Structure 1
Amino acid sequence: MEIYLIRHTAPDIEKGVCYGQSDLNLKSNYTEEFEAVLNQIQLKKDFKVISSPLKRCVLLAKRFSNHITLDDRLKELNFGDWELNPWNDIPEKDINPWMADFVNIAVPNGESYVELASRVDDFFESITHSKNNQNLIVISHAGPIRVVLSKLLKLPLKDSFSIKINYGDVFHLKKENESLKLITEINL
């Protein structure tokens, strides 16, 4: 079983704004970015497409198939009260404890990184232990992708931001003996 794990292309939002589960539009040049993604994947076999339900992922998923399975477990971190606020406007009394331990401390009315990791792990456990060995294209966000890659690379979650993930990046995984193996080379 082969899996292509893909980050959505660039959203239409100003730099410096906190966003996670906000349903953002894509930048106007998204069709060009889609072509760059498509050129990285060799679709020689049938693939099932699974996507985060946020439109910045769904639009890309529709380029692969008209039949998409949406899964909430693939959503980005829920930034709760901080969604769509400039990072610089978040009060220090709120952001400092989170910055000191973003893995375990939840954003006010949002979630922690370990909570995100739990739902993403649940998703990947379900597909790796499925009897169906259908090839997959999974379209998600940087947070969930970092969780998967950090697990495969045996990196603690607190160190997962050393993994660079750009908009439209594609990571090739392969299921072997009930476990996932990373095919794409990553330099840390």
Structure 2
Amino acid sequence: MDLVLIRHPAPAVDAGVCYGSSDVPLLDAAGASAQALAERLAELDAPPPQALWTSPLQRCAQVAAPLAQHWRCAYHVDARLQEIDFGSWERKRWDAIDRAALDAWAADLQHARAHGGESVAQFTTRVGQWFDGLTAVGSSDEHVSHCHVVTHAGVMRALASLALGVPLQTALGWPLGMAAIAWLRREGTSGAWRLVHWNA
């Protein structure tokens, strides 16, 4: 199974603003961004997907729709692929958030919820539920042996952590640009995942 993860292109948000689960628009035209992504994936020799999943947030879904049309593949919107919900911190500048609250969150990254949104543990659980469902289907249905996902940096890191068995804290340190591509492959005999490309 090939799982190709695509980070959404740049959103129309000022630098330094927390926008996790906020439904912010794309900075550039979705169609042109989708075409550029399709060309890059072709250059990487990524297999075309049998199915494409997307976060419902417009910065992902508006790119996923023309990609699905381009590949003529099944298209699924799933809320479990949304970025983490930062609660009361959403749409605030990071440097305007109370320093003590940020420090408390960093000190207990898995479980702290100073913002009232999701903890990292809650976030990774919901992403993991989607991943478990995908791998269960992929084990029994050859028609989803290749799938693409248009989603967010946090989701991509969580999925890489789950698939590769690396700590999330490690994956959080991996660079991941806007419109970046990460390609994971599960070997047929062993069932183990390996990383083909990261931040391509």
Structure-2-length-normalised TM-score: 0.83
Assess if the C-alpha contact under 8 Å between 1:128 and 1:179 holds in 2: no
Query: Aligned runs of 1:32-181 on 2, under 5 Å?
Result: 32-42=32-42, 45-66=48-69, 68-130=75-137, 131-133=140-142, 134=144, 135-177=146-188, 179=191, 181=193
Query: What is the aligned-residue RMSD (CA, Å)?
Result: 2.2
Q: 1:114 & 1:46 partners in 2: Cα distance?
A: 30
Q: 2:157 & 2:28 partners in 1: Cα distance?
A: 26
Aligned to 2:17: 17
**Corresponding position: 1:184 with 2:191:** no
Cα deviation per residue 1:136-182 (whole Å; 9 max; x = unaligned)? Answer: 11111000100111233432122222111111111222233484623
Q: Percent of aligned pairs with the same residue?
A: 29
Aligned to 1:27: 27
Cα deviation per residue 1:8-61 (whole Å; 9 max; x = unaligned)? Answer: 110110011111110010113555443331122237555211100000000110
User: Which ranges in structure 2 are unaligned for 5 or more consecutive residues?
Assistant: none
How many residue pairs get matched? Answer: 187
Query: Could you say which structure has the higher helix fraction?
Result: 2
Pick closer, same or farther for the CA change 1:40–1:110 going to 2, 3 Å.
same
Assess if the C-alpha contact under 8 Å between 2:183 and 2:197 holds in 1: no
Aligned to 1:5: 5
Q: 1:170 & 1:185 partners in 2: Cα distance?
A: 7
Pick closer, same or farther for the CA change 1:40–1:184 going to 2, 3 Å.
farther
